[in-house]
Chain A
Amino acid sequence: MRTGIFIVSAAPDQRVNLQAVATYAANLPAVETVTLLDPGARIDPVTMAETIRRDRLERVVLAGDSPGHLKPVFTRAMALAEGDPDEIRLASFREHGGVVDNPTERAKSIVACAVYGVPFPLAAVPGNTPIHPATLVIGGGVAGIQAALEIADAGKKVYLVERSGTIGGHMAMFDKTFPTLDCAACILTPKMVSVGQHQDITLHTYAEVSHVSGQPGAYRVRIRKKARRVNESACVVCHACSEVCPVRVSSEFDSGISERKAIYMPFPQAVPNAYLIDEASCVYVASGGQKCGACAKKCPKNCIDLDQADQTIELEVGQIVLATGYDVLDARKIQRYGYGTLPNVLTALEFERLTNASGPTGGRIVTQTKKYNKRKQRDEWVFDPDGTPPRRVAIIHCVGSRDSNYNAYCSRVCCMYSLKFAHLVKEKIPGVECHEFYIDMRAFGKGYEEFAERIKAEGTFVVRGRTASVTEHEGQLIVKGEDIVHDRIIDFPVDMVLLAVGLVPAAGARELAGLFGLFLEEEGWFHELNYNGDPTDTERGGIFVAGACQAPKDIPDTVAQASAVAAGVLKNISRGRGLGSRSELGLSEIEAHAKKIVSL
């Protein structure tokens, strides 16, 4: 089949040596012409049709970073030249591993497959490797929990490693979940508990992966367990220790709107259900054992070992699931919203805790009040359970999302949780006025659009237009924005502003990627093996990604992905062998394989 190859220049950084690819491609069977197209050049179907006719091409291969954008031109050209439009093949470097160790070699093999007319994933199948039956799940959020349970319920061994002192992740912090409004804790805690109790799950909290070796199917993972300084199994959560602890630091779980002690429970339903000591703030640790130590003296079951040291453990696992989730954008970056300087400008997570029954105000939505802090001897803005509820609330969408100055991407969940906020505010504060400032209302999921309609029906004002600024005038917050649909500038006072902050990759994702030899997108999300076909696999054999660490995702999609990963894991275990890494495959192997498939 007379084939013509057109190569569109790859990404600006020129990872791929196009010249080399071209020379290689020219020697492939049936290849008549290889043309390097200038990315800037306007490519016109008519002239292309002439080329096709002139060279009597029967098949055209478009190669490049994402050559798809040229396909319509050539399909039309092929039609004009009375050829078969189905014979336009794509060789997309980005799709099949634009970011790999040796992009040029990979590019060559991708082109080869296209020339043979074989889908790359079909030809680039790495060899089988024996699989160790145990699996390591990194990250104890809802994704990690779901994956771990799914695998363990099949009777397979799972190690779950979580960086913080408890599993649960962000979902445990939420109050209610859209669009069904069932409370997050109510649906998550049962799963957390069963992870804690499951005979096939070994839980390592307060621990991090420090080193990885071995190959697909047989990985050796070194894990650094930070000293918890409290005996997990012995602790009965009698709170005696925290009562005597003199230290007060802001609570991560309440995302800073309340305080905890240096020895603390992240939250009542934490799993494992035991205290831990935060060495960063503990007086005893800081003073090298000179000062304090009150908790240890007080503990009735003396299960506190203040001098406990970090320990390192080695795990043998066959497969690894990354479910490291996300962080929220630091709203301080966007000065014009005044977060951090103005009281009562809250981020989404802060509000989740504020409105949460187990939060510092017992679920009352109140504005901050100035209180004198005796210890620090200065006035502080605090959330007082008896504080006054806001009369007017503004919710700002796309904070740091869809914005080339911060995150160009859409964070996918903010629209819906903002609408949920509006509902909670309306539900808890009679007569409150609630305004949503949005750009596009992205209510795409099952039951989402209906939810959005319901919120509007409840009397929340949705304003199409992004808020430009939040300022303070005589102690009153002022939001300013354009109400586009009603063609006016909105400039009015509110008592509370909720910032729908976007999602960013979890801190340390880059390091992890380095450890596992995985690749990241520019934004820092994990790069999946194939966007459409294999959304949860990676270039490395036996290593999977699930949930928000691959890209922002809501709970149902995260859960689906986590289970999907489990399928991959269980499949390999039941076969006793799994696929190796694609990167092991040499050009010649892939080409040979492609040839074989064609001959079949």
Chain B
Amino acid sequence: MEETRIGVYICNCGTNIAKVVDCEAVAEAMGKLPQVTVARVYKYMCSNPGQDMICQDIREHGLNRVVVAACSPRMHERTFRAAVQSAGLNPYLLEMANIREHCSWVHEEQDAATAKAMALTRSAVLRVAKHEPLEKMSADMCPFTLVIGGGIAGLTAALELADAGHGVYLVEKAGQLGGTLARDDLTAPYLDSARDLMTERLTRVGQNEKIQVFLGAEVKKLSGFIGNFNATIRTAAGNGTGEERSVDVGSVIVCTGYQEFDASRITHYGYGKLPNVITSFEFERMLRAGRIQTHEGRIPQYVAIVHCVGSRNREFHGYCSRVCCMTALKYAHEIKSAIPGVYVSDLYIDMHAFGKGHEDFYRHSSEVKTLFLMYGKNAHPVIRKAGRGDDGERLLEVNEQLSGEVIEIPADLVILMVGMEARQDAGEVARLVNISQDKDGWFIESHPKLDPVATTTEGIFIAGTCAAPKDIPDSVAQARAAAARILGKIAKEKIEIDAVFAEVNEDLCSGCRVCNELCPYSAIDFDPVRRRSHINSALCKACGACGAACPSGAIKARHFTDQQIFAQIEGVLS
């Protein structure tokens, strides 16, 4: 057993760390620790020179363990593992101490912070001494993909993969493909035909033999891990007795889309009670049929459009639904062109005309005399029945922000721009494919900025409005982004599996099956014959739940062994 030679590297992270922690002092203290060969400080460890410094030391001082005290390992563990590996060191012989998020960012008092930084780094040093070299493993990548949801995102993703020559299983819950976009007539801001877009996608999907479509179908079960999933698709046949089909896929794209907010939840809009108060989706139907009229069959003379119904308010959803503003402008425009001489008023909070061509469209609809009325957030307009002699059949009363007046405006037809919300069954889907949802029920991406389509579960991707409200171009882009990831993986043919996972010592395992239920990644199965539990290393995320629970101490989490943890604790306390 060669002697342990540890290199300790403390990062200033510009001033992120250095402004609170005396990095030099930390380095000095670490230098004194047994087995520590070098301890250095640098402005940006993650930068090329920083990494080169480490590699150089590994070669020159023959380091066989490395500790980097910097930001969270979530941020840069990969970077530094790659670095030490490039210098011929096993990547698992690296340990990071988080002295930024856990220290400099949350403390102000210099000395105390420095002391804490020392403790954290010390514990990393003691821990790393106990590290063992681990080897990554690899598995095959199945070139087939499961796409859940047949809306614009799902269709686009499926086509992208199929056109590349890979098989796709496209599962749609409804009886036909198209999703929510299929209901639309024109698209904002250029008033292009939504139907042509749909027809184009649907035809191409229909003609592509690489895509197998399951209509009225649901994914009942998903097991396995990236590159090697097995999905059970259940199709409800005509006579109710469905048939099940199991398919092997390498990746899954979730494009389950959104559902519209239920306007009747906002009582003072009287949706569902008052006639001629309708939702945007009901109005879209009128448009397609070419019959914009009140439920008495009259041509409306006054139409009011109310924005942010269910969006951007405390009571219902805090977020903005992103597409309603432009859709509202589109409606204003369509009403004006279909009914000459009609008066359209548009009640909004902020006009979100942010995309390409959007502002022009907004400008244009004000040129054609749409009356824009601004109301305050959480100060919604009230819809009343109009009295005799009022022009309209309803009256909208609103505290108009741009004039500061409380005004009322007649309306024969009130259109509520209902927002988007996460589908009721989003929870099930999330559990099924084992991804998480945010407080609003949208699926969470692995990084909100630099990884918007991947999820925390490898091989599972999200695209379109199931991740958050989005317009068509953005959904299409995301769908393709997801496809790109998968194409990349397929091209590689193999996928790497992290070497950190739990394993069962079968001699100690009593077959009590406590762990089986505990595992949040359903990575543990039970061998009824040998009465032993077995852990699927590829599925295991090394959360440690099983290890902690195992009554007979049969489960050991690699890279999180008891000795390593004890050493770490000792380091913090000493």
**Residue in B71, B186, B288, B363 whose beta carbon sits within 8 Å of that of A68 in the complex:** B186
CB distance from B160 to the nearest CB of A (A): 5
Complex interface residues of chain A between 270 and 285 (CB less than 8 A to chain B): 271, 273
Within A544-571, which residues are at the interface with B (CB < 8 Å)? 550-551, 555-557, 559-568, 570-571
Contact B196 A72 (CB under 8 A): no
Q: Decide: B191 and A357 in contact? CB cutoff 8 A.
A: no
Bitwise, A219-249 to B at CB < 8 A (1) or not (0) is 0000000000000000011000000000000
Q: Does A256 contact B (CB under 8 A)?
A: no
Q: Assuming the A-B contacts A535-B477, A559-B452, are A409 and B337 also in contact, with contact meaning beta carbons closer than 8 angstroms in the complex?
A: no
Q: Which residues of B contact A557 (CB under 8 A)?
A: 474, 477
In the complex, A16→B177 CA distance in Å?
A: 37
Q: Is the CB of B355 within 8 A of A551?
A: yes
Q: Is the CB of B484 within 8 A of A72?
A: no
CB-CB under 8 A for A66 and B452, given A189-B46, A357-B14, A362-B15? no
Chain A: minimal CB distance from B345 (Å): 18
Is the beta-carbon distance between A566 and B472 smaller than 8 angstroms?
Answer: no
Q: Would you call B234 an interface residue if the criterion is a C-beta within 8 Å of the partner chain's C-beta atoms?
A: no
* B-contact 0/1 string along A396-412, CB 8 Å cutoff: 00000010000011101
Find chain B residues with CB under 8 A from A484 CB.
401-402
- Cβ-defined contact, B79 with A193, below 8 A: yes
**What count of chain A residues pass the 8 Å CB interface test?**
110
A457 within 8 A of B: no
B186 touches A363 (CB 8 A): no
Which residues on A sit within 8 Å (CB–CB) of B448?
180, 446-447, 556
Instruction: Confirm or deny: B428 has a beta carbon within 8 angstroms of a beta carbon on chain A.
Output: no
Picked from A187, A268, A357, the residue with its CB within 8 Å of the CB of B15 is: A357
Could you tell me how many residues of chain B have their Cβ less than 8 Å away from some Cβ of chain A? 104
For B163, list chain A residues within 8 Å (CB): 571, 575
Nearest CB of chain B from residue A337's CB, rounded to whole Å? 20
Q: Does B24 reach chain A (CB closer than 8 Å)?
A: no
Q: Are B190 and A570 in contact (CB under 8 A)?
A: no
Q: Are B337 and A70 in contact, with the CB atoms below 8 A?
A: yes
Task: Confirm or deny: B352 has a beta carbon within 8 angstroms of a beta carbon on chain A.
Answer: yes
Chain B residue with the shortest CB-CB distance to A579: B163
Residue A378, interface by CB 8 Å: no
Closest CB in chain B relative to A57 CB, distance in Å: 14
The minimal Cβ–Cβ distance linking A84 to chain B, given in whole angstroms, is 10
B360 sits at the interface (CB 8 A): yes
Q: A180-B449, A190-B79, A271-B48 are in contact. Are A357 and B477 (CB under 8 A)?
A: no
The answer, yes or no, to whether B197 is at the interface (CB within 8 Å) is: yes
- Asked whether A69 lies within 8 Å of B356 as measured between CB atoms, the reply is no
Interface residues of B in 179-217 (CB under 8 A from A): 185-187, 190-197, 199-201, 203-204
Q: Is the CB of A273 within 8 A of B480?
A: no
Determine whether the beta carbon of A269 is less than 8 Å from that of B477. no
Per-residue CB contact flags for chain B residues 147-180 toward chain A (1 = under 8 Å, else 0) read 0000000000000110111100000000000000
Contact at A531–B357, with CB atoms within 8 Å? Answer: yes
Which of A70, A182, A188, A570 has a CB less than 8 Å from the CB of B491? A570
Instruction: Tell me the bound Cα distance from A79 to B322 in angstroms.
Output: 32
- Whether B485 lies near A150 (C-beta < 8 A) is yes
- A119 at interface, CB cutoff 8 A: yes
Find the residue from B48, B164, B352 having the highest chain A CB count within 10 A.
B48
Residue A260 is within 8 A (CB to CB) of chain B in the complex:
no
Which chain A positions have C-beta within 8 A of B319? 446-450
Within 26-73 of B, Cβ neighbours of A (below 8 Å) are at: 43-44, 46-49, 51, 71
Residues in A with CB closer than 8 Å to B193 are: 68, 71, 89-90, 92, 119
List of B residues within 8 angstroms of A197 by Cβ: 82, 86
Q: Which of B117-125, B272-280, B289-297 contacts A (4 or more CB under 8 A)?
A: B289-297
Closest CB-CB distance, A420 to chain B, in whole Å?
13
A187-203 interface code vs B (CB 8 A; 1 in, 0 out): 11111011011000000
Report whether A464 and B401 are in contact in the complex, using a CB–CB cutoff of 8 Å: yes
User: A73-B338, A440-B352 are known contacts; what are 11 more A-B pairs with Cβ within 8 Å?
Assistant: A72-B337, A76-B339, A119-B203, A155-B492, A273-B48, A408-B363, A444-B354, A532-B187, A532-B192, A561-B477, A597-B203
Chain A residues proximal to chain B, CB less than 8 Å: 42, 44-45, 66, 68-73, 75-80, 85-86, 89-90, 92, 94-95, 119-122, 142, 146, 150-151, 153-156, 177, 180, 182-183, 185-191, 193-194, 196-197, 236-237, 268-269, 271, 273, 356-358, 362-363, 402, 408-410, 412, 440-450, 453, 464, 484-485, 487, 521, 525, 531-536, 550-551, 555-557, 559-568, 570-571, 574-575, 597
Contact sample, A vs B, 7 pairs, CB 8 Å cutoff: A72-B290, A72-B335, A269-B47, A412-B355, A561-B477, A570-B487, A575-B164
